[in-house]
Amino acid sequence: MTDERIKRSRRQERDTAEHYGGRTQPGSGSGWVHRNDVRSDEFLIENKRTDKGSITIKADDLRKLRINATRLDRIGLMEIQLGGHDYVVLHRDDFAGYIDEQ
């Protein structure tokens, strides 16, 4: 990964942490202790971003995110930065439960 891409990814993580009132996970993705990128009181968040016109989302990544979030009693969500916009992907059951609680 180029230095500029790393900087943009880290900036996305910091912005996500600030938006959700959480904190970035030290060494996220590089070990078994702090999985995923951002952790708040309510969410465990995996960030993805690209400067290209499309992005690949793997079913296994979403499955692992949901498992990790469940272990921490949180909702797993993936925040995607694509085309200058931020999108959120989460499991339908988590979304329905979140809406029901509002």
Cβ neighbours of residue 102 under 8 Å, at least 6 residues apart? none
Tally of domains in the chain: 1
pLDDT value at residue 69: 95
> What is the pTM for the complete model shown?
0.84
For 49-79, write each residue's pLDDT tens digit.
998 899 999 999 999 999 999 999 999 999 9
Q: Are strands 43-50 and 75-82 parallel, antiparallel or unpaired?
A: parallel
Helices (H) and strands (E) in the chain, counts: 3, 5
Give me the CATH number covering residue 81. Answer: 3.40.1350.10
Local structure of 98: helix, strand or coil: helix
pLDDT higher for 81 or 97? 81
Pairing of the two strands 38-39 and 75-82: unpaired
Tell me which residue range forms the domain holding 38. Answer: 3-101
